């Protein structure tokens, strides 16, 4: 990809110019941001102009919010910036997404450049599509820079680039899919947030019910409270009402039936108007085909997804790596583990590029509900000791589980884990011996390009933040984030450090897998992503 110079960028927006008579209090008139102007050069604002620059970009981001919102809620058009969704995001978050591109993508795209592109695509007859506004904008900037006066104006360019989407009304799925969450613990509640967030027009998926064990008086209120207020991930972005009479939670308008049951096969989902449902089992109680098949005995169920590694011959899917194994006829699919999802994409890419002779995966993992807060009996070795007071050495099956997604790594990896006293965000340390020698610069640049410009941009993220710590990655939607400053390379040997939100990042992978299971087929810009 052409790197656009910060000092010479033809085709930038008028508002990006800092004219001699610039007034910091003046926000660019709407009329002046409808098209890019042909200019000879542009430079960053002077120290005196930074505040004015910020306020103008802030105003543009503010204008983008309702446009992005209407596209999403009315037409199911999802807008991204290099894989980061913009709907339901604040002004600050939108500006941070632009900042990410400037830092990691190393070009000068800002709100000045993306705003007119967004306004141009909003005028088009689009529906049920995913558009990466960041990549569309950068491509427009590049053609402005390359062609000068011969370059297309923004509306003509956007119309040409999105021509294959315009006027196509085909829905990504024939009918909306009913989803049921079996279990409503840490993973279940976060998946619920993601499903509600993605409801959009309601034409693709609907979270219809959650299934929990029978509770005592006040059970509904307690579950609603745990859902809306999370000590790690913060408050639910929306409103939740409780309907005691009908045993329902109404979250952002989504009516979610709460079903109390002790076993899957005893439930008749059709009584609640639920048909051909996909069950997401978050309990981990059943992990083999025999156990999970109990869900299929219930009325109104068609498929089952497990949020844990499956046993036996069940397909363990790491989305982005082996999701091509999912077939329409599959009834039960498992989503492997959070650690497997974190390490598999990076291992796959490194193996394809450099070859892996052998390696060791050491996981520094946040504690989980499986451990004891204070010392108490536990069937597993060491796990009975206080999770809040100790580093706990334990086993992980992630290194071996990777083989199900990447068969060529059979017999090449070992693994272990250390549980540490933090509630969320873990780190995987990959110590690898490579077939091909490399350097820190080469390896990091390869992974940076993968994070930005490959079909794995939702699985692999990249940071150059030298002071990054675990809490910085709470809420990360990618499967893993490469900590490039920590990378160690010595000839054929390398050590890679991957951060991952073992709760939220994993839940995003599960939801991606669920979309694949139900056959959702969006049109994308760029094509193939």
Q: What is the pLDDT of residues 56-92, one digit of tens each?
A: 999 999 999 999 999 999 999 999 999 899 998 999 9
What are the boundaries of each domain within the chain?
14-161, 177-308, 338-502
248 a catalytic residue: no
Q: Is 266 exposed, middle or buried (0-12, 13-18, 19+ CB in 10 A)?
A: exposed
Per-residue pLDDT of 292-333, as tens digits, reads 999 999 999 999 999 999 999 999 999 999 999 999 999 999
Q: Which CATH architecture has domain 177-308?
A: 3-Layer(aba) Sandwich (3.40)
Do 338-502 and 177-308 have the same topology in CATH? no
C-alpha 276, offset from chain centre: 26
Kindly report the number of other CB atoms within 10 A of residue 229's CB atom.
11
Q: How far apart are CA 365 and CA 506, in angstroms?
A: 13
Closest CA to 481 of 438, 442, 451, 449: 451
Per-residue pLDDT of 241-252, as tens digits, reads 999 999 999 999
Q: Which CATH architecture has domain 338-502?
A: 2-Layer Sandwich (3.30)
Q: How far apart are CA 141 and CA 25, in angstroms?
A: 27
**Mean pLDDT within 441-470:** 95
Residue 181, pLDDT > 80, answer yes
Which residue in the list 248, 338, 494, 507 is annotated as catalytic? 338
- Tell me what the pLDDT averaged over the chain comes to: 89
Helix (H) or strand (E) segment spanning residue 50: helix 50-75
pTM reported for the whole predicted model = 0.88
Residue 41, pLDDT > 70, answer no
Q: Is 514 exposed, middle or buried (0-12, 13-18, 19+ CB in 10 A)?
A: buried
**Which residue did the predictor score with more confidence, 528 or 183?**
183
List the beta bridge partners of residue 523. 129
Q: What is the DSSP string of 152-201?
A: PPHHHHHHHHTTTTTT----SSSSPEEEEEE--SHHHHHHHHHHHHT-TT
Q: How far apart are CA 478 and CA 182, in angstroms?
A: 24
């Amino acid at each position: 990809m052409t790197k656009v110079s910060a000092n010479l960028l033809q085709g930038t927006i008028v508002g990006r110019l800092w004219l001699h008579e610039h007034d910091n209090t003046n926000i660019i008139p709407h009329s002046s941001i409808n098209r890019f102007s042909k200019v000879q050069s542009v430079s960053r604002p002077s120290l005196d102009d930074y505040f004015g620059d910020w306020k103008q970009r802030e105003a543009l981001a503010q204008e983008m919010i309702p446009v992005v919102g209407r596209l999403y809620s009315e037409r199911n058009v999802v807008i991204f910036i290099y894989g980061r969704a913009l709907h339901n995001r604040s002004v600050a978050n939108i500006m941070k997404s632009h900042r990410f591109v400037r830092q990691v993508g190393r070009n000068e795209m800002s709100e000045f450049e993306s705003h007119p592109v967004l306004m141009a695509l909003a005028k088009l007859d689009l529906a049920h599509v995913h558009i990466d506004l960041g990549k569309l904008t950068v491509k427009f900037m590049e053609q402005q820079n390359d062609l000068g006066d011969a370059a297309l104006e923004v509306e003509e360019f956007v119309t040409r680039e999105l021509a294959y989407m315009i006027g196509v009304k085909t829905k990504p799925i024939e009918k909306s899919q009913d989803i049921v969450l079996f279990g409503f613990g840490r993973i279940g509640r976060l998946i619920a947030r993601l499903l509600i967030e993605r409801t959009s027009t309601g034409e693709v998926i609907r979270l219809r019910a959650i299934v929990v064990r029978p509770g005592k008086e006040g059970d509904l209120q307690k579950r609603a409270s745990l859902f809306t207020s999370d000590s790690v991930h913060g408050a639910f972005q929306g409103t939740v009402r409780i309907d005691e009479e009908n045993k329902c939670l109404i979250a952002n308008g989504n009516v979610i039936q709460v079903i109390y049951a002790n076993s899957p096969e005893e439930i008749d989902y059709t009584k609640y108007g639920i048909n051909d449902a996909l069950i997401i089992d978050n309990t981990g109680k059943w992990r083999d085909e025999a156990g999970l098949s109990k869900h299929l005995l219930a009325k109104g169920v068609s498929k089952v997804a497990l949020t844990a590694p499956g046993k036996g011959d069940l397909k363990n899917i790491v989305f982005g790596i082996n999701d091509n194994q999912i077939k329409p006829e599959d009834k039960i699919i498992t989503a492997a583990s959070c650690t497997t999802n974190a390490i598999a994409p990076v291992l796959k890419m490194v193996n394809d590029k450099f070859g892996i002779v052998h390696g060791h995966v050491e996981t520094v993992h946040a504690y989980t509900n499986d451990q004891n807060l204070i010392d108490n009996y536990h069937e597993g070795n060491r796990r009975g000791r206080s999770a809040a007071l100790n580093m706990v050495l334990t086993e992980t099956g992630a290194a071996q589980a990777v083989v199900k997604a990447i068969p060529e790594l059979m017999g090449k990896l070992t693994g272990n884990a250390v549980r540490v006293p933090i509630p969320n965000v873990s780190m995987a340390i990959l110590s690898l011996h490579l077939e091909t020698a490399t350097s820190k610069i080469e390896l990091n640049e390869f992974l940076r390009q993968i994070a930005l410009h490959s079909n794995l941009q939702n699985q692999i993220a990249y940071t150059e933040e030298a002071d990054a710590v675990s809490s910085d990655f709470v809420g990360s939607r990618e499967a893993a984030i490469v900590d490039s400053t920590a990378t160690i390379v010595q000839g054929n040997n390398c050590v890679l450090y991957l951060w991952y939100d073992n709760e939220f990042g994993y839940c995003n992978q599960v939801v991606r897998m669920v979309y694949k299971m139900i056959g959702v087929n969006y049109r994308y810009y760029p094509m193939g992503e």
